[in-house]
Amino acid sequence: MEKKEYPSEGELVVGTVTKVQGFGAFVALEEYPGKEGFIHISEIASGWIKHIRNHVREQQKVVCKVLSVAPEKKHIDLSLKRVNEHQKREKIQEWKNNQRASKLFEMVAKKLGKTVDQCYKEFGDRLIEKYGSLYNAFEECSYNPEALRNDGFKGEWFQIFENIAKENIVIPFVEIKGLIHLSCWLPDAIDHIKKALLEAEDSEYEDVTINITYISAPKYMITVKAPDYKIAEDQMKKAVEKASKYIKKYNGSCEFQRGIDDKHAATVL
């Protein structure tokens, strides 16, 4: 996909401060080679600025928000103060990921004996269009290459792309824990508790594992491992709901406590 020549208004950009003067700072935009933006002193930080160099310095990496773009004047106005810490961290990580993906893509091209431009035209542009970025494509391929095949990606390049993705991209997983208190007052209570726990361990995702281990009656530790916290929390909630639904049919009860060291009150389900 053709790279934009200029950033868009409102876009977050990564830059390197090239010159600091009394009225502001000039910033070379890393994602737009040859383009430079300007941060007026009023957009450096909130409040009165006595010494601008207390806030920015030459060669410093910064994340700025684009305020306005005037291509005809080759002028880009930036703001440093309108970017919060969370946005800064996310943008820097995105930039680093994209840099890494470019290096990996060069490795793919080299192994294929083709130029990077040829590879972009053959399959790179389509990967970016489908997954939003080249890094996302590498990550998805490392995580689940079948997803790319199901999306219609194939060719001599695919195996090389997959190998490089798996060798260089490690998918992060998170793990959360909780306590389930299961009780049942029927003669065959043990059997029903076992079945309730088996119901809870059945995940709807292949990449999510749910393990339940015995602590001491009626307490069981539930551990959920998933690609991210949102999925993990969702699967934890559904697992507990399954156990609760089953045990209640057999004159039982279920309580859940998030985190094995959590001091919060247990939730009765």
Tokens in use for 105? 């893509």
Domain identity same for 184 and 251: yes
Q: How does the average pLDDT of the chain come out, rounded?
A: 90
In a 13 Å sphere around the CA of 125, the CA atoms on its Cβ side amount to 9
**What is the residue type of 160?**
I
Q: Identify the H or E element spanning 80.
A: none
Q: Specify the number of domains making up the chain.
A: 3
pLDDT of 107-143, one tens digit each?
A: 999 999 999 999 999 999 999 999 999 999 998 899 8
The answer to whether residue 2 sits within a structural domain is no
* Distance separating alpha carbons of residues 16 and 56, to the nearest angstrom: 10
Domain end: 33, 56, 82, which one? 82
Domain identity same for 188 and 253: yes
pLDDT of 191 over the 80 cut: yes
Report residue 204's pLDDT band, with 50, 70 and 90 as the boundaries: confident
* pLDDT at res. 247: 92
Residue 252 CB coordination number (10 Å): 20
Domain end: 144, 168, 192, which one? 168
Q: Identify the H or E element spanning 240.
A: helix 229-248
pLDDT of 2 over the 50 cut: no
Mean pLDDT of 28-57: 95
Strand, coil or helix: what is 5? coil
Domain end: 112, 145, 168, which one? 168
Residue 30 belongs to domain with CATH number:
2.40.50.140
- pTM metric for this prediction: 0.64
Q: Which residue has the higher pLDDT, 268 or 88?
A: 88
Domain identity same for 205 and 160: no
Domain identity same for 36 and 21: yes
The answer to whether residue 6 sits within a structural domain is no
pLDDT of 224 over the 70 cut: yes
Tokens in use for 100? 């890494």
Residue 60, domain extent: 12-82
* pLDDT at res. 3: 61
- Residue spans of alpha helices (H) in the chain: 85-112, 116-119, 125-131, 134-143, 145-150, 156-168, 189-201, 229-248
